[in-house]
Amino acid sequence: MIAIIVGCGRIGAELGYRLFKRGHDVSIIDNVPASFNNLPADFEGRVHEGDAINQDVLVRAGIEHCDVVAAVTNNDALNMIVSHVAKTEFNVSNIVARNYDPHVRDLFETFGIQVVSSTSWGSQRIEELMYHSEARTVFSAGNGEVEVYELSIPEYWNGKKVGELIPCDECRPIAVTRAGKAFLANTTTELQNGDLLSVAATFEGIEETRKVLKNSAKEA
C-alpha cells in the first residue's frame, strides 16, 4: 500500500511508523521541519516539508499514485481541505481525516470523508469505563455510535432467553460463545451461566441492557 500522511505530530508519526513497520510505502508531509523529530530513528519512509494545501507538495509526495491519504493534523480546516482535494482533484478512493473539534465533524461527513474524532471517541470510551464493567467493548464502528459489546452471563440468567435481556431495538444480539465455541444468536436463544453474549448496540441501547442486568441482580 502507498500511503500519504499529512501531519507529523504524535498521531501522524505513530501512524506512519506503524505502516512502515508493516512494509507499506509511506510519505509524511508537514510544514514544520522539527515535527519529523517525532518519528523513530529507524523510520525509513519519505518526509516532505511543505504546506499540504499546495498541490505541488502533494504531487511531490506521490498523491497521483497513492492508495490512501490520512490527514491527521490538529487543524480541522487543513484536514478537510486536504481530504477534499485528494478526493476531487486526485481521485484518491480511500481518505481518512482526523477531526479535532467534534463540533465541526458534520462538515467532514457532508463531504463524504471518513473521519476519526479522537475527542468524541475518547470521551465516550472513558464514559463507558466509568459505568458498569459487565459489558466490555470489543469493537467500535465509526466514532463509537455503534459498538459491539461482550456480556458475561451470570448464574441468575441461566435458562433465560436473549430477548429477555435485550429490551430495545438499539441493542441486537450477534453471537453466543459457549465453552470456547461461538454460534449466531437471536432473541429466542436460551442462555447458560458462563456464556459470553456479543451484542451490537448504541450507547443508549447498552444502557438499557445494563439496567436489565442490574435489576435482575437485585431480584436474584
pLDDT of residue 56: 95
Mean pLDDT over residues 61-87, rounded? Answer: 95
For residue 153, give the C-alpha cell: 452471563
Kindly report, residue by residue over 163-219, the tens digit of the pLDDT.
Answer: 998 988 999 999 999 988 999 999 999 999 989 999 999 988 998 888 888 888 777
Q: Rounded to the nearest 5 degrees, what angle is found at the Cα of 171, between the Cα atoms of 210 and 103?
A: 90
Domain with CATH 3.30.70.1450 in the chain: 131-219
How would residue 131 be classed by pLDDT, with cut points 50, 70 and 90?
low
Superfamily of domain 2-121: NAD(P)-binding Rossmann-like Domain (3.40.50.720)
Cα–Cα distance measured from residue 79 to residue 36, given in angstroms and rounded to the nearest whole number: 18
pTM summary value: 0.67
pLDDT of residue 220: 61
CATH classification (class only), 131-219: alpha beta
Kindly report, residue by residue over 38-56, the tens digit of the pLDDT.
Answer: 999 999 999 999 999 999 9
Q: What is the DSSP letter of 155?
A: G
Domain with CATH 3.40.50.720 in the chain: 2-121
